[in-house]
Amino acid sequence: MAEPMKALGMLETKGLVCMIEGVDAMLKAAREAGAQIKTKSRAESNESVATVKKNGLKVQAATPDVETEWRKLAEGLYPQIRGKIVPADIFDEVVRLLQEYRKGKS
């Protein structure tokens, strides 16, 4: 069983230098936690696919056309999510970052 993540709590400082150091520590901890979550999530996903294959199901990778169709479908749901489920400013920032990430991968 994985170790539970420890909460860092609230950051209270006396002065700008202490605050900057505290923010740096929190960012470092967030990056480390994110890396751990990403690693665990990918391992769980791989285990799930292996289990599906072991039980006789056939796994097929999505073709570029299917992926494009899926993205269009997902993007069609954006108006139902933006500002209703997720605050508009946060939603817009995530979409921007996702587009930036995808440009870097191609």
**Is pLDDT at 86 greater than 60 in this prediction?**
yes
Q: pTM (2 decimals)? A: 0.49
Distance CA(22)–CA(11), nearest Å, equals: 7
Contacts of 29 (CB under 8 A, 6+ apart): 8
The average pLDDT across 70-93 equals 96
Distance CA(27)–CA(4), nearest Å, equals: 19
Confidence of residue 46 (pLDDT cuts 50, 70, 90): very high
At 11 the pLDDT is 62
**Is pLDDT at 7 greater than 60 in this prediction?**
no
Contacts of 36 (CB under 8 A, 6+ apart): 5
At 17 the pLDDT is 73
Largest Cα–Cα distance in the chain?
62
